[in-house]
Every structure is written in structure tokens, then in C-alpha cells.
Amino acid sequence: MLIDSFQRKISYLRVSVTDRCDFRCTYCMNEDMQFLPKKDILSLEELDRLCGTFVDLGVKKIRITGGEPLVRKNIMELFNSLGKKIGNGLEELTLTTNGSQLDRYAKALFDSGVRRVNVSLDSLDKNKFKKITRTGNFEKVLNGIMIAKKIGLKVKINTVALKGVNDDEIIDLINWCGINKFILTFIEVMPMGTIGEKRADQYMPLNEVKNLIQKKYSLADSSLRTSGPARYFYCEETDQTIGFITPHTHNFCELCNRVRITCTGEMYMCLGQQDKADLKMPLRKSENNQLLKNVIYEAISRKPKGHDFAIEREGEEKFVPRNMNVTGG
């Protein structure tokens, strides 16, 4: 079992299988983003071995992320292998996706053992969606979401609240998710990496979103608890659950149970800190997993109490220098 110095049990692993993405979302990366050379990326077999080692150490949930995980060649080989661990230490295998490849992979994901997917969707307006993603195909994403729903995958929609961009769609998104029985989670912009514009101009505190919602609908505390950082509320009028992830206005660090692995084998103990551990070296140095486990144990002992996000209204922004596509949020 993995327990940090603050007595938090680490049971949730987020694994970025690629830094590449077929979108260029304005709050995530520059339009001319330069991706890692393929030679630097861990093989699917190495990622599988890493994940299996964490399961041996007590991890119960694995979320596959990116970049966009479904653009990685032969990615279903990893899902199929990890799916076999469900019921053998692993309790849940899931992923976060932009939805662009769901029409192609939804059935295969379900067959591998995946039962829930998080889909990033920041607008229901075709033109606005294009402006935010720069390269995204709105109809293809929507079609993929509906195929996933029909197949039996539980869909959760993640929406980044963007001031002056999608703040006029909050109620529309709630209504649409309510009709389709999707959980909807709003997220504050996270100051990670250079994106070509000031995040302070994008930032909308979620207490403002909540106030906007409560002008029309009620929000009552929900009993729903997941392994992630969202706080959930129940909206009686639309009979749905709405979540809020608030790294700025109300951080979630005291209950943090997760670590993140990049596609190059670096483990970040905190999304909002730069300390990391190299897992590629022990992974490749020894076929025995003990050296790898020793490095993991030592790294977990360094997991900080909390992150250090800050978006300042005046002066320069404080941000984590790596982009979101490195660790997948």
C-alpha cells in the first residue's frame, strides 16, 4: 500500500499515454504546439508494466489520459491488457478524452472493461467549439458521445469555465446534460504551460458559475463521492448531478489520493508542483519490479501537502511550466 507523509492512501493513478492531441484548445496549449519525439515515449508494454506495478502496490483505479489517449497507435492493446486486471486488484479502468475518436473506439473500450468515460466539451455552439478547440469537429464529437451512451458507457462531461467565452452557455449545458443523463462537471482554468494568452483573462471562479446556476435552479449537497477532486451537487429541477473542480477558489488537496505518470515515465506527485520521479530508469534497468517499487515508495514520501496554483488579477501570472497535455490534468 502507498501512503504519503500526510497519511493519505494513494489508490488512484492517472497515466498519460501520449502528449499528442488532435485538438489545440486555447486554454491547454499553443496552436503550434511541439510534441515529444516518439523515441522518448514509453512503449505500451512498459506502460502496462508500470500500471501493473502500481496495482500490486494498492492502486484501485487507473485513468488513461493524454494528450488525447485515443490517438495513440494500438492503444486498445493497453486497455485490453489493463482490463484483465479488473477484479484482480484493480477496481476501475477509465479514461478522459476529447471525444474525437469515441465513434471509433466506444465499443472496444466497453469490451475491454471500461464503464465510464470523461469527455471534455466546453461548448454546444458549433462555431464557439471550433474557436476553443481550433481543430475540433463538433458533430463528430457529439456523435461519439451518443454512440458511447448507446453502447452503455456512463458519460461525464467536463467543461472548463471560460470568462467571456462559454459563460453564457452554463444553463444550456446543464439542460443538455440533464436530458441525456450525463453528470456535468465545471472546472476552473488551471495555470499550466504557455498558451499564447493570459489565463487571467480566461479565468472564471466557479462560485460565479454556481451563483449563475442558482438564479434559475437549486443546488443541494450530493452524497456522490468519487476518487477525483470534484464536489458534487444535486439539481432537483433537472434531476442531475453537477460537479465543481476548484483548484483556485477551494483546493482539494487534503483528500488527494492520486499521482500522475507522463508518457515518458515521469511521475508527478502533485499536478500543481514540479517535483517528479524518473520511473523509466528503474523500469528499463531491471526486469525485476523491486527497484521500480523502491523508487515509487521514495517518491510517494515526497508528495506535498498541496498544490501552488495562482492566477493573479494584477501583474504576472504564476503557472506550472509544463502544459496540461503532459500530465493529462
Mean pLDDT of the residues in the chain: 90
pLDDT tens-place string over residues 203-217: 899 999 999 999 999
pLDDT at residue 35 in the model: 85
Q: What is the pLDDT of residues 105-135, one digit of tens each?
A: 999 999 999 999 999 999 999 999 999 999 9
Question: What is the structure's pLDDT at 308?
Answer: 62
326 by Cβ neighbours in 10 Å (0-12 / 13-18 / 19+) ranks as: buried
Give the per-residue pLDDT at 44. 98
What's the whole-number mean pLDDT along residues 184-193?
83
Q: Ramachandran region of residue 108, left (φ > 0), alpha (ψ -120 to 50) or beta? A: alpha
245-301 pLDDT, tens digit each: 987 666 667 789 999 999 999 999 988 787 999 999 999 999 999 999 999 999 999
Q: Please tell me the predicted confidence (pLDDT) of residue 315.
A: 41
What is the domain partition of the chain in residue ranges?
Answer: 12-327
pLDDT value of position 199: 66
Sole residue written with cell 502496462? 48
Answer yes or no: is pLDDT of 235 > 70: yes
Q: Which pLDDT score is estimated for 313?
A: 38
pLDDT for 317 beyond 50: no
Taking only the tens place, the pLDDT of each residue in 41-77 is 999 999 999 999 999 999 999 999 999 999 999 999 9
Q: Which three cell numbers stand for residue 258?
A: 492520486
The whole-number pLDDT of residue 314 equals 35
Task: Say yes or no to pLDDT of 198 above 70.
Answer: no
Q: Which of 127, 69, 59, 62 is nearest to 98 (CA)?
A: 69
Give the model's pLDDT for residue 195.
Answer: 52
92-106 confidence digits (pLDDT tens): 999 999 999 999 999
Would the pLDDT of 25 be above 70? yes
Q: Strands, E, within the chain: which ranges? A: 12-16, 61-65, 92-97, 116-120, 154-160, 183-187, 220-221, 231-235, 240-245, 258-261, 266-268, 276-278
- What is the fold of 12-327? TIM Barrel (3.20.20)
